[in-house]
Structures are given as structure tokens and as C-alpha cells.
Amino acid sequence: MKTKLRPLPPYDFSLALSYLSRSSLEKVDVVDGGQLTTLSVSDQRVFLLRIYQEGSVEDPVLVIEAEGKEVERFTEEILSEVARRFQLDVSLSDFYANIKEDPVLLQLAHQHRGLKPVLASSIFESLAWAIIGQQINIRFAYQLKNSLIDLVGLKKTIKGKTYFAFPDSARVAALSYDALTSRKFSRRKAEYLVDAARAVESGLLDLADLAECSQGEKVKRLTALRGVGRWTAEYCLLRGFGCQDAFPAGDIGLRNAVGRFYGYQNQPTEDAVRELGEKWPRWQGWGTFYLWFAQSMEKRREKKAGS
């Protein structure tokens, strides 16, 4: 199956690819030569997707090629998921209009014109990734994520190459804590992750129902889970639910980025970051993503210059 989507312009898929390839340890989203290769899971069927952009930033066309048994039956679901994950139907013009009172963020938006925040492949993945990443550096977080994928992730081998998908809540819920602690997860992190998956599977945390709730209610229900604090919940809202105004202001990476681009001599406090975000009404989540992305690109340039 090969089809095309037309994102609301401007849109630059190469920037999404830069974000997805921010770590050399990434094994789910494979970026190579301007193309993303990843797995899509629908009704327990696994499809291989190849996604790339044709046209220009101002007149973009996104091409999706999908392989798998009976893929034509799931075309609508696959395209809907691609549109959701890459936020193809959300207008950047609205974002630009709402950050015009902040010249720093507006300049970053111009530098990375056509960037739209990239969501996780599922809400559960965003929650799991936030739990995995609590209080550890990004490299170790990727190592733990890959251990989980190797343990219970979905796999598909095509022409001798194996591709991976992040496991769903059912697969994680079936794990014992020891299965994770034997792979370098701390006991608490293993408990938090498996218990969150079991809450989803039992219906205690209904993610579909949660999607219809207000942002405040989302945070309330998520933080009711053991091991899920405000930052974890807000990260899940941003990367999982796609809430444009979700604002994980306590995030260390975000605070470092704010310090860097806004000229702070010391790392700004969470309260200072939240005050700054008042300049981006209703778009704090996108402001967060732009700062994360710009920080990542700066670090790459510095690393390349120093090598």
C-alpha cells in the first residue's frame, strides 16, 4: 500500500526525523536517508511503514508505504495514526501567532520552520517512557527502553532485517518485577512501570476515557498511580495525548534549554519556567518541544565541532 497525506503547511518532515534520531540507541524509529521506517500495530497485526516527504516545506506531501498481510483493510487506521503522531492537521500559524510576545521562542520557531511536535506511538508508550526516564540520564533511559523492547516488544523480520515496536500495556503487565530488575531496572522503577501497565489492563486507568477528560483531570488520574508525579503526568499529556498546553516545567532538560536560550546564569527554577510560559498561552507544550529540539540540535553541533 502506498498513499499520500498533505500536512497543513508549513511542514518539514526532516526536522521530525532529526528529533527521532536524537539518540544512536533508538531502535524503534529507524531514520535513514530522509526516510522513517517503523512498525505500526493495529488489531494485533504488525505493519512495516516507510514514511518520507515529497514537495516543499510550504507545499508538503507525506508519502506512506505500508507492508503487511491485509494491510489495505487497515489503511484508514494507519493514516490516522500517522497524522496523529506527526500532528499533520494542526496549524503552525496558530502557534506562531501565540508566541509573538516572546522574541526568543519566535526566533527558534523561524530557525526550525515547519517543525511540529512528534508524539509517541501510543499513549501508553509515552507514560512508560516517562516512568523509565525518571531521575536517570537519557542514555541509560534508552538502554532500559531497549531492554524492555528486547524482552516483550513486537518484532517483524523483513528481508533479513528485524524491526521493533514498543510493547503494549498487556505485554508489560504480564511481566514480573524480577524480569526487569534482572535487566538493570531499579526495583521501584520496575514496580512503577509494571503496575502502571496493570492499571491500564484492569481498566483502573482507562486511557481512551482519559483522552476525553480535561487536562486537570488527566493529571489527577495519572498522579493517582504510584510512582507518577506531576512531571511524569505532564510529559505524558504532551507526548502521548498531544495536549498543546501541557507544560512539564519541572523537566531538567527544559530548564536547561530555557537557561541557555534566555541567558540565565544559573538553571532557572520551575516557577521561573512556568512564568515564562505565560507568554505562550495555550501553546506551552509546543514551546516546550521547540526548546527541547533546539537544545538537542545545539548539543549535536557542539559535539560535531569538538570531534
Give the pLDDT confidence of 64-93 residue by residue, as tens digits.
999 998 999 999 999 999 999 999 999 999
Tell whether 56 is covered by a domain: yes
Specify if 179 maps to a domain.
yes
Q: In Å, how far are 26, 64, 99, 241, 274 from 281, measured between CA atoms?
A: 33, 34, 8, 18, 11
Tell me how far CA of residue 224 lies from CA of 77, 168, 175, 204, 235, in angstroms. Answer: 31, 21, 22, 10, 15
CA distances from residue 131 to 238, 242, 246, 249 in whole angstroms, order as listed: 14, 18, 17, 17
Is 69 a domain residue? yes
Instruction: Judge whether residue 112 has pLDDT over 80.
Output: yes
What is the per-residue pLDDT for 44?
78
The pLDDT mean for the chain works out to 96
Share of the chain above pLDDT 90, in %: 95
Q: Please provide residue 281's backbone torsions phi and psi, each rounded to the nearest 5 degrees.
A: -55, 130
Sole residue written with cell 520551575: 270
Instruction: Report the percent of the chain where pLDDT is more than 70.
Output: 100
DSSP assignment of the chain equals -EEEE-PPSS--HHHHHHHHTS-TT--SSEEETTEEEEEEEETTEEEEEEEEEEE-SSSEEEEEEEESTTGGGGHHHHHHHHHHHTTTTS-HHHHHHHTTT-HHHHHHHHHTTT--PPPPSSHHHHHHHHHHTTTS-HHHHHHHHHHHHHHH-EEEEETTEEEEE---HHHHHT--HHHHHTTT--HHHHHHHHHHHHHHHHTSS-HHHHTTS-HHHHHHHHHTSTT--HHHHHHHIIIII--TT---TT-HHHHHHHHHHTT-SSPPPHHHHHHHHTTSTT-HHHHHHHHHHHHHHHHHHHHHHH-
pLDDT at 304: 85
Closest CA to 123 of 95, 151, 84, 154: 84
Any domain includes 55: yes
- Which residue range is the domain that position 202 belongs to? 91-111+121-155+170-301
State pLDDT tens for residues 26-63: 999 999 999 999 999 987 789 999 999 999 999 999 99
Q: Which three cell numbers stand for residue 189?
A: 522503577
Residues 245 and 270 in one domain: yes
Confidence at residue 307, expressed as pLDDT on a 0 to 100 scale: 65
Cross-strand partners of 61: 54
**pLDDT tens per residue across span 265-307:** 999 999 999 999 999 999 999 999 999 999 999 999 998 888 6
Task: Please give the model's pTM, rounded to 2 decimal places.
Answer: 0.95
The pLDDT tens digits for 15-29 are: 999 999 999 999 999
Give me the pLDDT at residue 59, please: 98
CA dihedral 268, 271, 272, 277 (to 10 degrees): 120
Cα–Cα distance for residue pair 96/55, rounded to 1 Å: 22
Q: What is the CATH number of the domain that holds 13?
A: 3.30.310.20
Does residue 48 sit in the same domain as residue 96? no
**Within this chain, do residues 235 and 296 fall inside the same structural domain, yes or no?**
yes
Q: What is the pLDDT of residue 99?
A: 96
Same domain, 219 and 176: yes
What are the pLDDT digits (tens) for 241-271?
999 999 999 999 999 999 999 999 999 999 9
Residues 66 and 101 both lie in one domain: no
Report d(CA 96, CA 102) in Å as an integer. 10
Residue range 168-194, pLDDT digits in tens = 999 999 999 999 999 999 999 999 999
What is the total count of domains within the chain? 2
Q: Which residues of 1-36 are buried (b: 16+ CB within 10 A; e: fewer)?
A: beeebebebbbbbebbbbbbebeeeebbbbbeeeeb
Instruction: Give tens-digit pLDDT for 119-172.
Output: 999 999 999 999 999 999 999 999 999 999 999 999 999 889 999 999 999 999
Pair (128, 191) in one structural domain: yes
Cell triple for 123: 499513549
**What pLDDT score does 215 carry?**
94
* 144 and 271 co-located in one domain: yes
